[in-house]
Amino acid sequence: MALSMLTGAVFGVGALLLVWTLSRPVPGISATLARLDTGRRAPRAMTSTAAGASADGRLDVLRESIGQRLEVELAVRGWEFSRTRSDLEVLNKSMTTHLGTKVLLALAALVWFPMVLSIAGFGSIGIPAILTIVAAVAAFMLPDLQLHREADAQRRDFRHVMGSFLDLVAMNLAGGRGLPEALMAASSIGDHWAMVRIRQALSNARIVGVTPWEGIAQLGRDLGVDELRDLASALALAGDEGAKIRASLLARSESMRRKELVDVEGAAGENSQSMLMAQLLMCVAFLIFMAYPAIDQLG
C-alpha cells in the first residue's frame, strides 16, 4: 500500500511539473526583470520557425521554452550557478538550451524506463518506481557531467594557445609597438577559437572604453581561466607604471609550457597505470579459466 502511494505521488509530481513547465502564466515584475537581465547577459540570435516544422524543430522549440522558463525562475531566486555558466561560456552554449536538455532527458527517463522494466517482467511496483527515480535523476545530471568534461578540455586547449599568444605579444613589443597595439596584433594572427575570443574581448574593451587588460580580465572571469586574470594583472601593472613586460611575458609563456608538459606526462602515467590494471585483470581471469576444471574435479 505504501509503495503504491509512493508511486502515485511520484507520477503526480511529475505530471504537475510538466503542466507547470508547459503553462504560460502572466509574468510578474521580478520575472520580467530577470528575463531582461538574462537576455542582456547572454544575447543570442533568434530564428523563426516555419509553420510546417519537423519533429526536431518542434522538439527544439519545446526545449527552448522549458529552458527559458527555468532560467527566469533561477534568476528570480538569485541562483547563479557560476561554474555551469562559465563552462557554457567556454563552449559557447546558452543556459536556456542546457536547462531544457536536462529537463527533457529527465522526462524521457520517467516515460521510457518504466516501459523497459515492464517489458523485462518486473511484476512489483516498488522496485521499478525506485529505479525510475534513480534513472531520472541520473538523466538530469548527465548533461552537467558531459558539460564539465568538455569545458575542461576546451580550457586546456585555450591554455595551449595562450602560450603562443604571449610569445606573439612579446615579439610585437620587441618590434616597437605599444602594449595595446601588440595585444591586438597578436590576437589577429590565426582563426583558432581562443584567438577569436581574445580578439573579441579586446575589441569590446575598445568599444566600451576600458583598457585592454580589463577586457582580458573579464574574459578570464567569464571562461574561468585563471591565467587570463593573472595576465591582466601583470598587464595593468605594466600599463600603469611602465614596467618592462616583455621578459615577464616570455617567462610566463615558458612556465605555461612546462605546466602543460607536466600535465601531459601525468595523464600519460595515469593511462599507463590503467593499462597495467587491465592487463593484470586479464591475467587473473585467464588463470581462473585455466584452473576452474581442476578445482571442479576436486569438488
Give the whole-angstrom CA distance, residue 51 versus residue 126: 44
pLDDT digits (tens, 9 = 90+) for 164-203: 899 898 888 888 888 888 899 999 988 889 999 999 999 9
pLDDT digits (tens, 9 = 90+) for 213-224: 999 999 999 998
Give the whole-angstrom CA distance, residue 44 versus residue 32: 18
> CA angle at residue 65 from 60 to 66, to 5 degrees?
100
H or E element that contains 33 = helix 29-41
Cβ atoms of 234 and 245 closer than 8 Å: yes
Instruction: List Cα–Cα distances, 166 to 78, 81, 161, 252, 264, in angstroms.
Output: 37, 31, 9, 8, 21
Tell whether the model's pLDDT for residue 19 goes beyond 80. no
Contacts for 59 with CB less than 8 Å, ≥ 6 apart: 104
Give the whole-angstrom CA distance, residue 173 versus residue 238: 12
Locate the DSSP E strands across 33-176.
none
Cβ neighbours of 143 (radius 10 Å): 20
pLDDT digits (tens, 9 = 90+) for 87-120: 999 998 889 899 999 988 988 888 887 777 777 6
Contacts for 267 with CB less than 8 Å, ≥ 6 apart: none
**What cell was used for 213?**
587588460
Tell whether the model's pLDDT for residue 54 goes beyond 60. no
With CA atoms as reference, report the closest residue to 197 among 189, 187, 206. Answer: 187
**Statement: the pTM of the whole predicted model exceeds 0.85:** no
* Signed CA dihedral, 192, 194, 198, 204: sign only: positive
